[in-house]
A and B are shown apart, each in its own frame.
Chain A
Amino acid sequence: MKQGLVAASIALASVVVTYSGTSSAEEPQKGGTLRILGNAEVDRFDTVPPATADVTNFHRATVRQLISFAASIDAAEQVKPAGDLAEAVPVPTDNGLTYTFKLRQGADWNAPGGARQITSEDLERGFKRMCNPAIASPHITYFEDLVVGLSEYCAGFAKVEPKVEAMKAYVEGNDISGIETPSPDTVVFKLKHAANDFLYMLSLPTAAPAPIEVLAYLPDSPEYRSNFIASGPYTVESYVPDSLLKLSRNPSWKPESDPLRKAYVDEIELVSGMQADAAMQQVEAGDADMLYDLLVPPATAQRLVAAGDEKTVAIATGRSRFVWMNTVSGNNGGALKNLKIRQALSYAMDKAAIVQQLGGPAFAKPLNGIFPLGVVGNHDFDLYPTTDAKGDPEKAKALLAEAGYPDGLKLKMPFRNSGSDPALAQTIQASLKKAGFDVELTPVPPADFYSRLITNFENAQNGVWDIVAAGWTPDWPGGAARSIFQPQYTYNGTHGTFNFSDFNSQRANAIADKASVTTDPDEAAKLWGEVDEAVMADAPTVPLVSVNTIVYHGEAVQNFLPYAAGGQGDWTNVWLSR
């Protein structure tokens, strides 16, 4: 199909492995209906509650954000904050405590009375709605921790009855002291402490502006949905729950006011209730164009990538997989408390086998730190290097013997019994066996794995598990180092849910404090890199791989550019050639 950029991209070890779809010879075409297939429907129209990346694609098409990302095949550009409603990405002042945004003129609400400019008031209203007592935002704690006055505002809001009238009165009668609106086109955020990931947090739909009209409805209620007020290039045309959502052009949206969205297609149809295999067949046959919340079935993706299908695109969504080691139990005489043993495990792990198991280099890349590809702080380093990342059983055995376990060690490893996890667990088992670790596998039903087994600290203390394979996806793309490091690798005396064995490193914490506040993005990246190395020196986990999501599109779809926050091709930038 046409001339692709395949040849150039094969050599790229990092993110985009195979890419095509656009051809410079063809002019973009306007019009047509983009057909997207999903299993679940768009579960939230309202910007306040959504937590899944899939819904972010819907909001990309219908809602403007202060900060967003360009759709791009370039890995760095994908996660570089770009002004959406903001005219430009501001440099913070006041030692990183103040962010002043100028709003883009001509960016309008599709209000019932006709197009109306989006103002700074609307932005503040968006923040106010975050902690409404009916449905709060899943990301509220990140913002409460940063924005001056937001926690006080939310504490007051929590006492309000979750009824429309009462909530409207509270929103209109109270202000967040840290969000100032000196003029309709200027909004100023005051932060409690400097945090260079604030800009990335603003790309979450939950931080989107809200028009005054929505105060008349409960958040995400049927009334909210039927009176949906769009600000992006598309608006809700019709909606049949659990089966079909149709988006059509928003008459109030002006292309010149939007640098990030080109909005080539006229309509977007989102069909739900599909199964992955069936949906994929339709997309391959050209009856549908893209997938919504469905992943390309792994074996199919492997086949497509192996066949060099130009319609597959790999996106680094910041997902990583790693093996956590239990350092709080007394199993094997507390062997895993010994750094040497943890290092032996790090050396023993055959990461190349895991990459192969997950589908080869297009799907995963060996990871040696806590920050995966696509996250600030990721850099090339390996404290436990082995040839071709294949593991070094001899070195691991030597370390084990040094630590007093010359006959090896028996380890309990429960695994989540679904998807690729059983295969992954057996791969880990086989690679550790070569180094003298006898891994005993126990399948655990997927619903119980995280909720009952792993996040329950008692199980760690009682030695129910010695090692577990886990995964992590940060809440926002790009500058998400803090959202990986803080919940998983810091311990302040109270046990955290995702720090499975209370890991803490004073040295890493000290560097992380510096990394969060610096206003220089390059320095932040460098400091987070040091944090990564400081954590890995203690080897609390064995990082396995950075995982790429493989997305696929139909023959007709052109200009398929990944939108990192949604982990998909950008609906607002594709065009159709049927």
Chain B
Amino acid sequence: MSQSSSPDAAASPAAIVQRGSFELTLRRFAADKAGMLALGFIVLLVAFALGAGLIETWTGHSPVDQFRDTGLTPTGLPVGPGAEFLFGTDQLGRDVLVRLAYGARTSLVIGLVASLCASCIGITIGLIAGYVGGWTDVILGRAMDLVMSIPVLLCTLALVSVFGPSIMLSVAVIVFFSWTTIGRVIRGQVLSLREREFVQASRSLGAGPLSIMVVDILPNLTVPIIVYTTMMIPAGIVFEATLSFLGLGIVPPAPSWGGMLAEAAANSIYLVAWWLILIPGSVLLFTTLAFNILGDALRDALDPASRRRSRHNKSKGRQRKRGKEGRS
């Protein structure tokens, strides 16, 4: 439908074009330069991660191969960026470029999987707590409070020393500690949605609670779900990097960005090899930045009211402030 409308618009400029909500969203998103830039970066990053195998074949360097003759000086110092190693080598003579690509896989997979799992849990619990209410709400709400009050790193350290570090454990820890934010938001939305007329209508037509939750309420939560899940991805990536930096995440020699940074910090090797900090550090920085900007842009595009509302509130606040000052 939206496709057919555009030729009409071109033919007669006076004609009023009818646009679907999807197209409007797309147009709003496309107008956001920062958002487009962020999306572009993420697309490139995904391509980089997917192409890790190609990069490996092209350079001829596997991510765990140690090039002791060409990738290290005789005294064991890494070699800087150059023709053979585009991004230099690390303290074991491994190619930083290849490791960065495979590390991107680790980071993206962990970030995506963990945030998808976390939002599934958060949505389910938020829906149930908000819709059922009563004691269920009290118990689930308190459970969320409880999880939020656990000191994350301390608990993780304890878990890792008991079970030993692994990707699965990293994901589990990230999921466990990040579902609560989205859970609370969903619960709040459901609380107001369940009083709305369409819910009552559905109920009077004989729909059961499950059907109301899934068929009637859930579609109305699309915006917060998309926005919060996007925002959780960078948090997951950073959390994984933190765990690996502390030596609790991915087990070496498998590459991960946090692990690469940790290895650069160990033995002060960064003092002689700047690329070991700068390259994975800036990629990590730009990735989290890109996902955050993307999340913001998506929210603005999907829910233009929120943008208007926040601007409106801001200007209102300013006025109120001014008024106060005037009076005093």
Complex CA gap A353/B69 in Å reads 10
Verify B263–A422 contact, CB threshold 8 A.
Answer: yes
Q: A302 interface residue, CB < 8 Å from B? A: yes
For residues 260 through 289 of chain A, which have their beta carbon under 8 Å from a beta carbon of chain B? Answer: 276-277
Verify A353–B268 contact, CB threshold 8 A.
Answer: no
Verify A357–B272 contact, CB threshold 8 A.
Answer: no
Please pick, from A297, A429, A441, the residue contacting B268 in the complex, using a CB distance under 8 A: A297
Complex CA gap A357/B269 in Å reads 12
Please pick, from A300, A356, A448, the residue contacting B76 in the complex, using a CB distance under 8 A: A356
Verify B66–A430 contact, CB threshold 8 A.
Answer: yes
- Known A277-B268, A427-B66; contact A448-B253, beta-carbon cutoff 8 A: no
Please pick, from B65, B92, B247, B270, the residue contacting A427 in the complex, using a CB distance under 8 A: B92
Q: A303 interface residue, CB < 8 Å from B? A: yes
Complex CA gap A277/B76 in Å reads 20
Complex CA gap A252/B22 in Å reads 93
Verify A423–B272 contact, CB threshold 8 A.
Answer: no
**Sorted from nearest, which 5 A-B pairs have the closest CB atoms?**
A360-B75, A297-B268, A298-B267, A417-B247, A299-B269
Verify B273–A299 contact, CB threshold 8 A.
Answer: yes
Verify B73–A299 contact, CB threshold 8 A.
Answer: no
Residues of A within 8 Å of B267, CB to CB, are: 297-299, 419-420, 423
Complex CA gap A443/B271 in Å reads 24
Q: How far is the CB of B91 from chain A (nearest CB, A)?
A: 6
For residues 36 through 87 of chain B, which have their beta carbon under 8 Å from a beta carbon of chain A? Answer: 64-66, 68, 72-77
- Known A430-B66, A443-B252; contact A360-B74, beta-carbon cutoff 8 A: yes
Residues of A within 8 Å of B74, CB to CB, are: 356, 360
Q: B165 interface residue, CB < 8 Å from A? A: yes
Chain B interface residue bracket vs A? 20 to 34
Residues of A within 8 Å of B68, CB to CB, are: 353, 356
Residues of A within 8 Å of B268, CB to CB, are: 276-277, 297-300
Max chain A C-beta neighbours (<10 A), residue from B72, B75, B252, B271: B75
Please pick, from B66, B251, B266, B272, the residue contacting A353 in the complex, using a CB distance under 8 A: B66
Complex CA gap A448/B65 in Å reads 30
- Known A277-B271, A297-B271; contact A357-B76, beta-carbon cutoff 8 A: yes
Verify A443–B251 contact, CB threshold 8 A.
Answer: yes
Q: B21 interface residue, CB < 8 Å from A? A: no
Complex CA gap A422/B91 in Å reads 11
Verify B272–A303 contact, CB threshold 8 A.
Answer: yes
Residues of A within 8 Å of B64, CB to CB, are: 430
Verify B75–A306 contact, CB threshold 8 A.
Answer: yes
For residues 85 through 128 of chain B, which have their beta carbon under 8 Å from a beta carbon of chain A? Answer: 91-92
24 pairs of residues in contact across A and B, judged by CB atoms under 8 Å: A276-B268, A297-B268, A299-B267, A299-B268, A299-B272, A302-B77, A303-B77, A303-B271, A306-B77, A353-B68, A419-B267, A422-B247, A422-B252, A423-B266, A426-B252, A430-B66, A441-B251, A441-B252, A442-B164, A442-B165, A442-B251, A443-B165, A443-B248, A443-B251
Residues of A within 8 Å of B149, CB to CB, are: none
- Known A277-B268, A423-B266; contact A359-B76, beta-carbon cutoff 8 A: yes
Verify A360–B76 contact, CB threshold 8 A.
Answer: yes
Please pick, from B65, B253, B263, B273, the residue contacting A441 in the complex, using a CB distance under 8 A: B253
For residues 187 through 212 of chain A, which have their beta carbon under 8 Å from a beta carbon of chain B? Answer: none
Residues of B within 8 Å of A303, CB to CB, are: 77, 271-272
Q: B161 interface residue, CB < 8 Å from A? A: yes
Q: A362 interface residue, CB < 8 Å from B? A: yes
Complex CA gap A408/B82 in Å reads 37
Q: How far is the CB of A36 from chain B (nearest CB, A)?
A: 20
Verify B253–A419 contact, CB threshold 8 A.
Answer: no
Residues of A within 8 Å of B253, CB to CB, are: 426, 429-430, 441
What 1/0 mask marks residues of chain A from 337 to 376 whose CB sits below 8 Å from any chain B CB? 0000000000000000100111110110000000000000
Q: A305 interface residue, CB < 8 Å from B? A: yes
Complex CA gap A430/B64 in Å reads 8
Complex CA gap A423/B262 in Å reads 11
Complex CA gap A358/B91 in Å reads 10
Kindly report which residue of chain B lies nearest to residue A390, judged by CB atoms: B68
Complex CA gap A427/B72 in Å reads 13
Complex CA gap A66/B77 in Å reads 44
What 1/0 mask marks residues of chain A from 407 to 435 whose CB sits below 8 Å from any chain B CB? 00000000001111011011101100000
Q: How far is the CB of A149 from chain B (nearest CB, A)?
A: 47
Q: A445 interface residue, CB < 8 Å from B? A: yes
Q: How far is the CB of A495 from chain B (nearest CB, A)?
A: 25
- Known A422-B252, A427-B66; contact A443-B76, beta-carbon cutoff 8 A: no
Complex CA gap A303/B66 in Å reads 21
For residues 131 through 169 of chain B, which have their beta carbon under 8 Å from a beta carbon of chain A? Answer: 161, 164-165
- Known A427-B66, A430-B66; contact A302-B76, beta-carbon cutoff 8 A: yes
Q: How far is the CB of A386 from chain B (nearest CB, A)?
A: 15
For residues 488 through 506 of chain A, which have their beta carbon under 8 Å from a beta carbon of chain B? Answer: none
Complex CA gap A135/B250 in Å reads 44
Kindly report which residue of chain B lies nearest to residue A433, judged by CB atoms: B64
Residues of A within 8 Å of B247, CB to CB, are: 417, 422, 443, 445
Verify A445–B92 contact, CB threshold 8 A.
Answer: no
Complex CA gap A418/B72 in Å reads 21
Residues of B within 8 Å of A353, CB to CB, are: 66, 68
Max chain B C-beta neighbours (<10 A), residue from A298, A353, A358, A418: A298
What 1/0 mask marks residues of chain A from 291 to 322 whose CB sits below 8 Å from any chain B CB? 00000011110110110000000000000000
Residues of A within 8 Å of B269, CB to CB, are: 298-299
Complex CA gap A427/B92 in Å reads 7
